[in-house]
């Protein structure tokens, strides 16, 4: 379908060699989109409200949409795509479900269900094709953790592996499914917010955990870390803020060089609340949220706002250069970084 370019992204920023073209893609749905998984430069999956799950196999030019039968009222906040045929999706709220497709989204099977009134799944990530993890808000101060070792066919509760109890009022955010991050070899980070913001870290596939303080804005149910990314086992970034005051940028982006043990503020922060952040490479980072999008070309130390248009989530191809952003009313955009 025909696209158009928002030329406001072609900014001649001082000290910035790149320009940023934001191309609107006609998604064909009106759903609020928060889940995203970009497999290659051609294949990507997105998910959102009212049971909507979308897939592209041509880099976002066209999208195919499904609402899994029997689950059309769910809000799918995160999705993990493996290729054009296989994907795993999770919803927010109770009952909680994990659905799996192996035929490109034509049919979905229920691989996990939890009817506890307090269950609320926040995010999911996979170390490889077999091993994955899901986390959710605490029940009786215990973070909910699920792990698969068979590619999503079965999910086993492992909440007892995390011995630390969460504080009253501490929980995760399901704004984009990106407050959890895995890296090969068993590394995983989970970020919380609300009354207290912390980082939970394991280096052995979630068998044992360490807990680090995260000095991002916190103290209210609307504040904390809403997205996170790690470039490697040492270098990482968290973004967030107060989603009720999305134009404020008080202490809402932090950087680490030691795997999350310690965090520092950048010289110039992002421009407001942000619910998505990615490393494009070791130096170039992009963050987005309901009040706009920012870029940093110096590993997160200085951020420049490139648009006031709001999105919920941003993702980058695991095996290429494709960058997509998605938001409310089915908005999906492609972001091209040009030298």
The predicted structure's pLDDT at residue 324 = 98
Give me Rg for the CA atoms of the chain.
18
**Residue for token pair 């379908």:** 1
| Domain encompassing residue 322 | 4-338
- With a cut of 70, list the residues of the chain below it in pLDDT: 1-17
pLDDT of res. 299: 98
- Residue pair 246/236 in contact (Cβ under 8 Å)? The answer is no
Indicate which CATH number applies to the domain containing 202: 2.130.10.10
- Backbone φ, ψ for residue 328 (5° rounding): -80, 160
Say how many domains are in the chain: 1
Res 17: pLDDT: 60
Q: Which pTM does this prediction carry? A: 0.94
pLDDT, tens digit (0-9, with 9 covering 90-100), for 212-227: 999 999 999 999 999 9
Which structure tokens are listed for 59?
């880099």
pLDDT at position 26 = 87
108/69 Cα distance (integer angstroms): 8
- At 9-22, the pLDDT tens digits run 434 333 446 899 99
């Amino acid at each position: 379908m025909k696209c158009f370019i928002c030329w406001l992204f072609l900014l001649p920023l001082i000290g910035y060699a790149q320009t940023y073209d934001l191309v609107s893609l006609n998604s064909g749905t009106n759903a609020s989109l928060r889940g995203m998984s970009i497999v290659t430069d051609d294949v990507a999956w997105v998910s959102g409200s009212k049971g909507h799950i979308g897939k592209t196999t041509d880099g976002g030019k066209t999208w195919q949409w499904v609402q899994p039968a029997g689950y059309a009222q769910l809000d799918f906040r995160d999705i993990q795509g493996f290729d054009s045929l296989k994907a795993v999706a999770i919803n927010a709220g109770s009952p909680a479900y994990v659905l799996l497709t192996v035929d490109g989204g034509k049919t979905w099977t229920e691989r996990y269900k939890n009817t506890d009134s307090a269950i609320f799944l926040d995010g999911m990530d996979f170390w490889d094709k077999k091993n994955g993890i899901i986390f959710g808000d605490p029940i009786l101060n215990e973070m909910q953790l699920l792990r698969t070792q068979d590619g999503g066919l079965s999910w086993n509760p492992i909440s007892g592996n995390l011995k630390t109890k969460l504080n009253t009022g501490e929980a995760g955010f399901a704004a984009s499914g990106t407050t959890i991050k895995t890296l090969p070899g068993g590394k995983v980070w989970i970020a919380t917010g609300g009354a207290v913001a912390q980082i939970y870290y394991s280096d052995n596939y979630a068998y044992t955990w360490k807990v680090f303080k995260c000095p991002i804005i916190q103290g209210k149910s609307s504040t904390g870390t809403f997205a996170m990314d790690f470039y490697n086992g040492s270098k990482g970034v968290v973004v967030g803020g107060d989603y009720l005051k999305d134009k404020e940028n008080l202490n809402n982006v932090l950087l680490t060089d030691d795997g999350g043990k310690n965090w520092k503020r950048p010289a110039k922060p992002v421009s407001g609340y942000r619910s998505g952040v990615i490393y494009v490479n070791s130096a170039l980072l992009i963050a987005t949220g309901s009040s706009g999008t920012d870029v940093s070309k110096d590993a997160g130390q200085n951020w420049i706002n490139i648009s006031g248009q709001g999105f919920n989530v941003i993702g980058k191809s695991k095996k290429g250069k494709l960058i997509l952003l998605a938001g409310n009313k089915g908005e999906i955009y492609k972001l091209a970084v040009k030298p």
